[in-house]
């Protein structure tokens, strides 16, 4: 056995035993090292002004399924942009109807609108897409307005947070605040409630179903960036830090695991165990619904989610989308049985207060990479 194999096998045992090894082997936060608008890359022949690069940088910090960052932007003129959805970044196995891609586009547009506002621009969004697979999603027109007091740190410090959620119930005042941000269509089910328990069971069951689906696992593997080298090369997808695999386990995964092993039995069963723990953690579940299923409804639902997500940290509330129930045919059937026909859930989110709110870790492509 050579040194690499020795370390690999030794660490694998720790990983499989799930030993808590604290911050041993803790990585640097790659996002801190490479974050920031790449305004220096301007002069690529686009009409984008420095403020445009900055606004698009903030837009790009939006969340997306598998962190696939489905957006592209075409600059028609300095203040007219077309925001589009890139088919190479769709997730046909788990999201064949592009529902999640459009929710993510909605989150991108919400960040864009808020960042524009902070920079003294009003951004008018016109939805162009009629069908879910249309690539030109929205045209954005910017005009001079009054700069609003929107702290951009809300955008830069927002993150998905999956571990450490406390069981303390969400305060009524915080729920009301989130309802106001989403403009209605938000429901809260505490973990102890019957529906909250159903959601936890359904989330785990559908996660398990998805993890037995080879095609879905191959797709997930294609968006997994285990080594720091791949993370920095692609600046998208799911990294060990983003998956909240900390300590020695994270170090081992970054250095010794091949992405093919993501499809293997050990990884799958560890992931299912982790989710079984997560669904019991936290205050409960938040559901964001939409009145319809059209492209505009999905964009709007993504924007509503993002408005809430941008304020969650100030309330010390962690949000974790758990989407498998909305993706799997089994889960969709369960939803039809458990919900009124007029109530269309678009996000199912674990929610809970946390003691410590860690900084974001998932990477983003620089603006110059998604300008076409
Ligand atoms: C539509 C949508 C669906 C998502 N579904 C899941 C999910 O099922 N499980 C999960 O752990 N994270 C999910 N996420 C969170 C993304 O993985 C996360 O946004 C992405 O990795 C970027 O990380 P960040 O939010 O910390 O910036 C989802 C996000 C969006 C926008």
Q: What is the mean pLDDT of residues 150-166?
A: 97
pLDDT single digits (tens) 270-326: 999 999 999 999 999 999 999 999 999 999 999 999 999 999 999 999 999 999 999
* Lowest-confidence pick of 1-10, 15-24, 40-49, 307-316: 15-24
2 or 63: which carries more pLDDT confidence? 63
Q: What is the mean pLDDT of residues 118-133?
A: 97
Q: Of 58, 59, 62, 67, which is best to mutate to test ligand 1, by the most ligand atoms within 8 angstroms of its C-beta?
A: 67
Residue 18 pLDDT: 44
| Residue 72 CA, ligand 1 centroid: distance in Å | 19
| DSSP H or E segment with residue 203 | helix 194-211
- Within 13 Å and on the Cβ side, how many CA atoms surround 64? 32
Spatial separation of the C-alpha atoms in residues 298 and 209, rounded to whole Å: 25
pLDDT higher than threshold 50 for residue 187? yes
| Residue 78 CA, ligand 1 centroid: distance in Å | 31
Residue 106 pLDDT: 98
Q: Of 98, 104, 160, 237, which is best to mutate to test ligand 1, by the most ligand atoms within 8 angstroms of its C-beta?
A: 160
Residue 64 pLDDT: 98
Spatial separation of the C-alpha atoms in residues 360 and 341, rounded to whole Å: 37
Q: Rounded mean pLDDT of the chain? A: 91
Spatial separation of the C-alpha atoms in residues 49 and 106, rounded to whole Å: 23
Domains of the chain: 30-157+364-370 (3.40.109.10), 172-353 (3.40.109.10)
pLDDT higher than threshold 90 for residue 327? yes
Using the atom order of ligand 1, give the atom closest to the CA of residue 323: 8
| Residue 146 CA, ligand 1 centroid: distance in Å | 33
| DSSP H or E segment with residue 222 | helix 214-222
Nearest CA-CA partner of 127 in 295, 346, 339, 244 = 295
Q: Considering only CA atoms, which residue is closest to atom 13 of ligand 1?
A: 321
Q: Which residues contact 53 (CB under 8 A, 6 or more apart)?
A: 37, 38, 39, 41, 42, 367
pLDDT higher than threshold 50 for residue 6? no
What is the CB < 6 Å shell around ligand 1?
Answer: 63-65, 67, 100, 103-104, 107, 159-160, 162, 238, 242, 321-324, 360, 362
- Measure the CA angle with vertex 75, ends 79 and 68; round to 5°: 120
The pLDDT-based confidence of 30 (bands split at 50, 70, 90) is confident
Q: What is the mean pLDDT of residues 114-133?
A: 97
Residue 179 pLDDT: 97
pLDDT single digits (tens) 32-48: 888 777 876 655 567 89
pLDDT single digits (tens) 47-68: 899 999 999 999 999 999 999 9
Q: What is the mean pLDDT of residues 259-276?
A: 94
Q: What is the mean pLDDT of residues 116-132?
A: 97
């Amino acid at each position: 056995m050579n040194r690499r194999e020795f370390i690999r096998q030794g660490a694998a045992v720790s990983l499989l035993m799930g030993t808590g090894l604290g911050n041993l082997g803790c990585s640097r936060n790659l996002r801190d090292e490479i974050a920031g608008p790449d305004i220096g890359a301007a002069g690529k022949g686009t009409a984008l002004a420095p403020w445009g690069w900055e606004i698009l940088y903030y837009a790009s910090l939006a969340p997306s399924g598998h962190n696939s960052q489905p957006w592209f932007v075409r600059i028609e003129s300095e203040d007219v942009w077309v925001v589009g959805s890139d088919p190479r970044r769709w997730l046909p196995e788990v999201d064949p109807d592009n529902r999640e891609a459009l929710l993510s586009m909605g989150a991108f547009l919400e960040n864009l609108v808020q960042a524009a506002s902070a920079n003294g621009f009003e951004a008018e969004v016109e939805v162009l897409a009629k069908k879910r697979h249309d690539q030109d999603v929205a045209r954005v027109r910017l005009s001079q307005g009054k700069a609003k007091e929107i702290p951009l740190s809300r955008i830069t410090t927002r993150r998905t947070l999956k571990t450490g959620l406390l069981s303390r119930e969400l305060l009524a005042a915080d729920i009301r605040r989130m309802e106001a941000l989403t403009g209605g269509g938000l429901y809260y089910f505490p973990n102890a409630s019957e529906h909250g328990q159903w959601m936890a069971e359904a989330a785990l069951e559908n996660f398990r179903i998805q993890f037995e689906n080879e095609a879905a696992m191959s797709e997930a593997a294609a968006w997994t960036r285990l080594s720091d080298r791949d993370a920095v090369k692609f600046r998208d997808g799911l990294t060990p830090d983003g998956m909240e695999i900390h300590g020695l386990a994270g170090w081992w995964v970054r250095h010794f695991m091949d992405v093919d092993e993501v499809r293997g039995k050990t990884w799958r069963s560890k992931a299912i165990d982790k989710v079984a723990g997560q669904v019991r953690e936290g205050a409960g579940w938040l559901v964001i619904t939409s009145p319809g299923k059209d492209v505009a409804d999905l964009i709007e639902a993504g924007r509503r989610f993002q408005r809430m997500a941008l304020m969650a940290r100030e309330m010390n509330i962690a949000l974790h989308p758990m989407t498998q129930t909305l993706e799997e045919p089994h889960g969709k059937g369960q939803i039809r049985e458990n919900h009124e026909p007029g109530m269309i859930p678009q996000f199912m989110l674990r929610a809970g207060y946390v003691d410590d709110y860690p900084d974001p870790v998932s990477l983003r492509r620089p603006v110059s990479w998604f300008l076409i």
